[in-house]
Amino acid sequence: MSKPRILLDTNILVSGLVFYGNEHQILKKAETGSIVLVLSDFILLETMKVLGEKFKGYEGLLDVFLKHVLFELIPGELIQETLGDCEGKIRDKKDTHVLASVMISDPDYIVTGDRELREDLNEYLNSDKAVTSTEILEILK
């Protein structure tokens, strides 16, 4: 059986790097190789920005973490090419890149702390792929 491919939103990645809650447990699963992370250039840049602005001193954690995990990277150029097809399908236009990432990579699950984004993704995809960190940990048990 193949490992679940899980796309993480920025808020999950930041929380997992900075705090020791459910989000950190998800990152630990990536470190042990039980899941494959799906990350985009947009999410990585946004994560670096948030760490730099809100969590001074934590900026280096992302690079250290990425050196120890298996992940698939969705290049920014591919996302840019797909953004036009995604416009207007997500209430918060700042999250359009997440839908583009999902359309390109077709992950098994999308984990985000943003309730509105989860609802929009599940409605658009006609699925229950977009889940909370608590839900993904239950699924992975």
Question: How would you classify the pairing of strands 130-131 and 5-8?
Answer: unpaired
Give the model confidence (pLDDT) of 67-82 as tens digits: 999 899 999 999 999 9
Q: How many domains does the chain have?
A: 1
Distance CA 53, CA 71 (A): 25
> 67 is in which domain, residue-wise?
5-140
Dihedral through CA 128, CA 129, CA 132, CA 138, nearest 10? 90
- What's this model's pTM, rounded to 2 decimal places? 0.94
pLDDT of residue 120: 96
CATH number of the domain residue 104 falls in: 3.40.50.1010
